[in-house]
Amino acid sequence: MKKDIVAVIPVKEHSSRLSNKNILPFADTTLLEYKIKQLKQVKEISKILVSSDSTKMLEIAKDYGVDIDKRPIEYANETKPFGEFLQYITTIVSNTHLMWACCTSPLVSTDRYKEAIESYFYHLKNNTHDSLITVYKFQHYLLDKKGPLNFVRGLGHVNSQDLPSYDYFTNGIILSPIKSVKKWNYHYGPNPYRMYLTQIESIDIDTEFDYYCALTGYKLLSKYVGGGNSK
């Protein structure tokens, strides 16, 4: 059953750390095309919008029959704060709910999107959370310039499995009411429901190393799950 959700895929022409990362080859297609195909399988989504300053990426989106937004350059070259870009997005869509769906998180499966939507509306209805984000739980030894943050040296040292756990925010799935995004100037609120992903699902491509991790992860999922992670 369709919900009034617009899934926004934000893609820029230039990336500071990995050139053309949004259209890198992935699973016999590109990252952008792979994400569009994933989202098209999620019947609860009413609209898919690709927002980009890249003519090439917008042409790809048009070929797949999804909506496009020619992003103003000031929202692509990072001269404007991210919150202002989100405000801009809220002015060009008329849907009630916003899903942020980055193509650099390709290993979040279609089933996970469906699960997220179900959880999101459940928590909104019961007024327990104001939005939904995906996170990955990790336990590592952390230090800042002053020294250990979550462990002690000497006789108080503990094994990593006994460290306090932290939630690492991922760009996998983010869901919020659009009226709230306008108020927060952000794509999720102060009380989000945290949906936990596995480490492999949490891969977000920002560097060349991330990209090769995602390619390897896809091959593993194809081998042990079947058909990659698009289902």
Average per-residue pLDDT for the chain? 93
Q: What is the pTM of this model?
A: 0.91
How does pLDDT run across 159-177, given as a tens digit for each residue?
Answer: 999 999 999 999 999 999 9
Q: How confident is the model at residue 230 (pLDDT cuts 50, 70, 90)?
A: low
CATH fold of 5-135+169-226 reads Spore Coat Polysaccharide Biosynthesis Protein SpsA; Chain A (3.90.550)
| pLDDT band per the 50, 70, 90 thresholds, residue 225 | low
Could you state, in order of their start, the residue ranges of all structural domains in the chain?
5-135+169-226
Q: Is the pLDDT of residue 228 over 60?
A: no
What's the pLDDT tens digit per position in 52-94? 999 999 999 999 999 999 999 999 887 889 999 999 999 999 9
Q: Which of 165, 149, 159, 162 is nearest to 199 (CA)?
A: 165
- The pLDDT-based confidence of 226 (bands split at 50, 70, 90) is low
Specify the pLDDT at position 22.
Answer: 96
DSSP output for the chain? ---SEEEEEEE-S--SSSTTGGG-EETTEEHHHHHHHHHHT-TT--EEEEEES-HHHHHHHHHTT-EEEE--GGGTTT-S-HHHHHHHHHHH---SEEEE--TT-TTS-HHHHHHHHHHHHHHHHTTS-SEEEEEEEE----EETTEESS--SGGG---GGGSPPEEEEEEEEEEEEHHHHHHHTSSS-SSEEEEE--TTTT----SHHHHHHHHHHHHHHIIIIISTT--
